[in-house]
Amino acid sequence: MRGIIILLIFFSLHVNVHAQTTITVVDSITRLPLAGVSFLDSQNKGIGITDAMGKINVAKEKVGEKWIITHLNYKTKQIQLTTDTIPNVIVLVPANNEVEEVVVSTGYYKLPKERATGSFEHISNKMLDRSVGENLLEKLEGLAPGLQFVNSNGNNSSDIRIRGLATIESDASPLIVLDNFPYEGSLSNIDPNSIESITILKDAAAASIWGARAGNGVIVLTSKGGQKDIGFSASAKTSITIQKKPDFYYGKGWLPSKVVLDIERENEKNGIYGNDNNITVPMFVEQIRRFDRGEIDEAELMVYYDDYSSIDTRREVEKYLYREATNKQTYITMQGTANKTSYRTSVAFNEALGERIGDSNTRLSMGLGVVRNLFKDFYLDWSLGYVSQHRKSNGIGIAQLDVGSIVGISPYIRVVDDKGQPASVQVSGLNYNYASQASEQGLLNWDYVPIEDRDLKDISSQSREFKFDIQLRGTVWKDLKFQSGYQFLGSNSSGHSHYFKNSYYVRNLVNRFTQPNGSLIIPHNGVLLGGNPTETASHYGRIQLTYDKETQLGPINVLVGSDIRHATQEIFPGSVLYNYDDEYLVGTNQFNFNQNYAVKPVGTQRIPNGSAKHELLTHRDISYYFNGAYQMLNKFLISSSMRWDGSNLFGVKANQRGVPLWSIGGSWLLHNEGFFKSNMFDLFKLRLTYGISGNVNKTISHYPVVIFGTDLTGLTSARVASVGNPSLRWEKVRTVNGGMDVGARRLGLNISVDAYLKNGSDLIGPDYMDPTTGVIGQYKINYADIVTRGVDMKVRGDWGIFRNARVGATFNFSFVRNEIKEFSTNPDVSVISYLQGDPAPVKGRSKDAIYSYPTSGLNPQNGLPLIYIDGQVSDRYATYHRQFNTVEDLKVSGVTIPTMYGSCMPHISMGNLELSALFLYKGGYVFRRSSMSPIGEERGNYHDDYFRRWVKPGDEQTTDVARKISLDEVDSEIRAATSVYEFGQDRITDGDLVRLQDINLTYRIPLGGNAKRFVKNISVAAYARNLGLVWRKNNHGIDPDFPTSFYRTPSIWAGAITLQF
């Protein structure tokens, strides 16, 4: 150290003597000298460029007040210097290096991650830009430990769990904060390009400043704003994404046409299908009936049989109804500083064509952000944002070909006939043969031709969102600063369905309402249905004082403030116009909507009317908060936050009680301790935090609620729908978090480990009240309890292998488990409801538990599940089922949400080329796979397991698929084997998997001297996503993220170009 000082003195002497100084520029990480670094003066005039050894000689007279040091791959550095402080070494930080100082934002304040006590995850702009896509949230999967996607590729906050669960019956979605205030608009309105960075607040010290809404974790989005920048800069980015057509051959719920035809013939023989005009029967059955009526002969029937056998609906659908979905994105932004004002404007345009032909979505986003220095250090920041979206949903997909019970999606549907003309297909609830005779009955043509119908309607929805922020900040007195802000977020959305005159919708409605005497009720013309328009408006206000002081021992940072919010959502009634002519925009709604008309084929019906729903929801909150941090001797950090919330969702009792939500945290910077002598670590930090945050259940009222009606006497009467709960209050989430951050730059390693325990208490749950209170059955009160334990780990390595090449990888790993500690389960809930659908929570179990019958294998005698009654092998399946009196008797077969998940992102860079890939891992969970039900044929439920069914004794050695139960086996004891099979533990399948989520290849095009004058930087990127499974534990060919779907999200291929000016 002393040597350097002497050297420095020597150099400065040298400078003084020779009026020239030599400066070496090095990389901040590798410490290698950097060639080609430009030195500019404050007028942007060149001073010089470093040589191959990274050295530059600067003449004494060139030493101005400010130097700007730039290099393509490094962050531009400005140095303010006087003649006597010329450094001999200048360190440049690589422009794309994550080891740089990370600043996290809570929405109330920003702080360097190194100075935090809490558990934060920071997702940088570079990581966000790495993936190409129109939705923000889906980009986050796999990027942070503790961030779990419950629905793969989801883009709603409800698709996400941050560190597991902290509630049972309330909303478990994390809070999304956009530009300092909670964002309650649609996440699809956020253009990912507009987001600068994302901070995820995981523990109490990080999140409890958000108080009553922080219990599920917080995701803080920070928009790119006006920056104090040098001069003018602009960038443009354009990308195109192509998604492959879905692979319909993935789904297991399918049998070849020929097999299904034979089943259908058998079913028809057994009279499974009804014979009414409102019943859809398989096409082949229609032909059999024609044969029975003598309309066709046996040879013709065989022609149909052979023809239908040759059709595969999946092929038809893939060819005629789906396409490669594309998405074109353009993003242009400009920023600059003029006088005392810096500004930034951006325009983004997104045009997507959906995978179903006829679906599309466009989104236009515009933004303007201005930072104006008023006087001294008083600033006025304001920004405007506008997003408009337009969506068309005219497509017809495979799901729309499902005609319901017994038939389902027929495997031999033709959407285009053998002459290449669009063909008609069956519809639900209408017999094909009956409908095809419509014209002879004097009705309109009743054929449904999907490919034509796609163009005979316009189903669209649009939304607009407007955002306005304004903030005034400045110094009040010495170290005391204030900040006051206001945000308005307004949006409206609406939708309409316009069916043209010849659309199936109109013809069907006209025909159905044609009266027995032939008179029409519905005019044969267009129909315009208006959805429920929705308007939202939220106003936020904030006043905040901050006190930042450097004391002799270390800095103190304190902030206090208050938030106020008023948000409304109003849903307006829908509308309907018949006899609609879109040329003149005229139609009529002069109908008697209360009259029941006779409809074809059977029954009575009222004329469809617009929705009469009208709703106005108002949400008001007031909050006061405090946050303080103190750093002592550069070794200890202490932080604390406190918050009080009031809300109109709660009664005066809860609001006056005013239990503040709070947190406290500390960390110890071991690497700064004298006794911790290690050259290895430049960061060794231990963290410990504890705190309480809250969660809100909006579905329960503290008020008594009455519903009005009319009694039989004609008087207005009111029924008490809910007695209200005057003691309703916030749910509380206590979190304790211990963590360790280790940085060993020399080894190229960064490690963070966090272990936490979250205890959600005072949770809303059903209480079974003493009926004497007058409350019969469930009464929701705050009493339930859930505990979530987990570990989050992140390991990052980055190593230079030779001059321009680096390799590295980031590993994220999380472990999480929850257990319900207190919950009253309704004893009247039938056991079967725990097997079907979402099971009710049970004390002592995971919220995500899945149950099954403890049966394993097949009975060698009868090919049905092997069960025991009183220790004896039995075939009394209904009796067996009745033995399960409570949920305790069922087997807990695991949980349906991964208890272990993580990711690995290896990257390699070589000069201007960079390659990275993201692998996702999920484990420690199961799912219930579907199979061929023993009575699947008569229900029209088909499955690939059909071919593996037990047929004869001995088959149980090689298969676990139960035999068919034929129709003549009427014994209810035997037929009950169906549900024992479906919910037997043999159907429970391990979900563990490794998926290659995406790959990114980026190349920064080196620019020659002339080009550089116009363009600072050009980079091109190739990107691919949803690249499939690398490994899965189950050997049933099922992707556990899509256990029962027809197809998986297809892979996406994208290219992008970014230009910076």
Partner 1 sequence: MRLLIFIIPILFFACSDAYLNIKSDQSITTPSKLSDYRAMMDNSLSFFNNGGAYSLSMCSSDEFYLMTPQWQAINDQVQRNVYIFATDIFGEVQSSQDWNENYQRIMVCNMVIEHLEKYDKKAEEVNEWNEIFGSALFFRAFNYYQLAQVFCPPYVYNDNRTHRFLGLPLRLAYDVTLSVERSDLHMTYQQIIKDLNESIDLLPNKTINNLRPSRQAAYALLARIHLLIGDFAEAKQLAELTLGISDDVYDFSQLNTSNRYSFPTDYGESNSEIIFFASTGSILAHSRVRMHVDEELYKLYENDDLRKIVYYDNGTIDNIYFRGSLFGNSPVFIGLTIGEMLLIRAECNAREGLYDDVSRDLSKLRRMRFTNGGEVSIADFGEDPILFVLQERRRELAFRGLRWEDLRRLNRENKYAKTIEREIQGISYKLLPNDSRYTFPLPNDVVSLGGYPQNNRD
Of 648, 879, 883, 972, which one interacts with partner 1 (CB under 8 A)?
A: 648
Mark the segment that binds partner 1 (CB under 8 A) among 241-249, 291-299, 715-723, 795-803: 715-723
Cα 319 from Cα 678, distance rounded (Å): 65
Give the shortest CB-382-to-partner 1 separation in angstroms.
19
Give the shortest CB-878-to-partner 1 separation in angstroms.
20
Within 498-557, which residues bind partner 1 (CB under 8 A)? 541, 543
**Site membership for partner 1, residue 622 (CB under 8 A):** yes
Site string for partner 1, 281-320 (x = CB under 8 A): ----------------------------------------
- Within 10 A of 423 (CB to CB), how many other CB atoms are there? 19
Within 8 A by CB and 6+ apart from 568, the residues are: 536, 537, 538, 616, 617, 618, 619
Entry field: residues in the chain:
1061
Cα 864 from Cα 932, distance rounded (Å): 12
Give the shortest CB-140-to-partner 1 separation in angstroms.
31
What tokens were used for 607? 């004329």
CA 1041 to chain CA centroid, Å, is 14
Cα 934 from Cα 932, distance rounded (Å): 6
Of 705, 801, 805, 873, which one interacts with partner 1 (CB under 8 A)?
A: 705
**Site membership for partner 1, residue 727 (CB under 8 A):** yes
Of 476, 553, 805, 869, which one interacts with partner 1 (CB under 8 A)?
A: 476
Q: For partner 1, give the closer residue by CB, 311 or 545.
A: 545
Q: For partner 1, give the closer residue by CB, 767 or 792.
A: 767
Q: How many CA atoms lie within 13 A of 752 on its CB side?
A: 21
For 955, phi then psi, to 5°, come to: -60, -25
What tokens were used for 409? 């999606």
**Site membership for partner 1, residue 244 (CB under 8 A):** no
Of 517, 713, 957, 1010, which one interacts with partner 1 (CB under 8 A)?
A: 713
Helix (H, G, I), strand (E, B) or coil at 976: coil
Within 52-111, which residues bind partner 1 (CB under 8 A)? none
Give the shortest CB-212-to-partner 1 separation in angstroms.
13
Mark the segment that binds partner 1 (CB under 8 A) among 18-26, 261-269, 477-485, 943-951: 477-485
Q: For partner 1, give the closer residue by CB, 375 or 584.
A: 375
Give the shortest CB-825-to-partner 1 separation in angstroms.
14
Of 373, 400, 484, 697, which one interacts with partner 1 (CB under 8 A)?
A: 484
**Site membership for partner 1, residue 17 (CB under 8 A):** no
Considering CB under 8 A, how many residues would be counted as binding partner 1?
58
Give the shortest CB-611-to-partner 1 separation in angstroms.
14
Of 375, 675, 708, 802, which one interacts with partner 1 (CB under 8 A)?
A: 708
Give the shortest CB-178-to-partner 1 separation in angstroms.
23
Give the shortest CB-651-to-partner 1 separation in angstroms.
9
**Site membership for partner 1, residue 477 (CB under 8 A):** yes
Of 306, 550, 673, 711, which one interacts with partner 1 (CB under 8 A)?
A: 711
Q: How many CA atoms lie within 13 A of 254 on its CB side?
A: 19
DSSP strands (E only) in 34-156: 38-41, 46-49, 55-59, 66-71, 74-80, 89-92, 103-105, 110-112, 120-123, 147-149
Helix (H, G, I), strand (E, B) or coil at 166: coil
Q: How far are the Cα atoms of 290, 441, 513 from residue 277, in angstroms, in the given order?
A: 15, 14, 15
Q: For partner 1, give the closer residue by CB, 358 or 561.
A: 561
CA 694 to chain CA centroid, Å, is 22
**Site membership for partner 1, residue 715 (CB under 8 A):** yes
What tokens were used for 978? 């169906």
**Site membership for partner 1, residue 616 (CB under 8 A):** yes
Of 83, 439, 551, 618, which one interacts with partner 1 (CB under 8 A)?
A: 618
Q: For partner 1, give the closer residue by CB, 843 or 1036.
A: 843
Nearest to 743 by CA among 677, 663, 797: 797
Give the shortest CB-558-to-partner 1 separation in angstroms.
16
**Site membership for partner 1, residue 703 (CB under 8 A):** yes
Nearest to 134 by CA among 343, 387, 314, 375: 387
Of 302, 553, 720, 1011, which one interacts with partner 1 (CB under 8 A)?
A: 720
Give the shortest CB-822-to-partner 1 separation in angstroms.
16
**Site membership for partner 1, residue 374 (CB under 8 A):** no
Give the shortest CB-842-to-partner 1 separation in angstroms.
19
Q: How far are the Cα atoms of 142, 684, 992, 1042 from residue 1029, in angstroms, in the given order?
A: 15, 37, 11, 12
Cα 896 from Cα 837, distance rounded (Å): 12
Cα 141 from Cα 466, distance rounded (Å): 28
Q: Give yes or no for a cis peptide into 839 (omega within 30° of 0).
A: no
- Within 10 A of 926 (CB to CB), how many other CB atoms are there? 23
Give the shortest CB-708-to-partner 1 separation in angstroms.
6
Q: For partner 1, give the closer residue by CB, 477 or 584.
A: 477
Give the shortest CB-645-to-partner 1 separation in angstroms.
10
Give the shortest CB-111-to-partner 1 separation in angstroms.
24
Cα 350 from Cα 240, distance rounded (Å): 10
Cα 578 from Cα 695, distance rounded (Å): 46
Cα 1036 from Cα 1039, distance rounded (Å): 9
**Site membership for partner 1, residue 602 (CB under 8 A):** no
What tokens were used for 348? 């983004």
Within 8 A by CB and 6+ apart from 39, the residues are: 46, 47, 48, 49, 50, 56, 58, 67, 68, 69
Are 920 and 999 contacting, i.e. CB atoms less than 8 angstroms apart?
Answer: no
DSSP letter assigned to residue 865? B
Within 753-792, which residues bind partner 1 (CB under 8 A)? 768-776, 779, 781
Q: Give yes or no for a cis peptide into 601 (omega within 30° of 0).
A: yes
Site string for partner 1, 177-216 (x = CB under 8 A): ----------------------------------------
**Site membership for partner 1, residue 558 (CB under 8 A):** no
Are 686 and 663 contacting, i.e. CB atoms less than 8 angstroms apart?
Answer: no
What tokens were used for 596? 């029941």
Of 311, 723, 904, 908, which one interacts with partner 1 (CB under 8 A)?
A: 723
**Site membership for partner 1, residue 4 (CB under 8 A):** no
Nearest to 569 by CA among 489, 637, 647, 640: 489
Cα 702 from Cα 715, distance rounded (Å): 28
Give the shortest CB-703-to-partner 1 separation in angstroms.
4
Cα 295 from Cα 306, distance rounded (Å): 18
Give the shortest CB-620-to-partner 1 separation in angstroms.
6
Site string for partner 1, 826-845 (x = CB under 8 A): -x------------------
**Site membership for partner 1, residue 339 (CB under 8 A):** no
Amino acid, single-letter form, for residue 7: L
Q: For partner 1, give the closer residue by CB, 269 or 719.
A: 719
Within 673-702, which residues bind partner 1 (CB under 8 A)? 698, 701
**Site membership for partner 1, residue 612 (CB under 8 A):** no
Are 757 and 821 contacting, i.e. CB atoms less than 8 angstroms apart?
Answer: no
Q: For partner 1, give the closer residue by CB, 471 or 989.
A: 471
Helix (H, G, I), strand (E, B) or coil at 809: strand
Give the shortest CB-56-to-partner 1 separation in angstroms.
49
Q: Which residues bind partner 1 (CB under 8 A)?
A: 476-477, 482, 484, 541, 543, 562, 564, 615-622, 624, 646-649, 652, 655-656, 698, 701, 703-708, 711-713, 715-720, 723-727, 768-776, 779, 781, 827
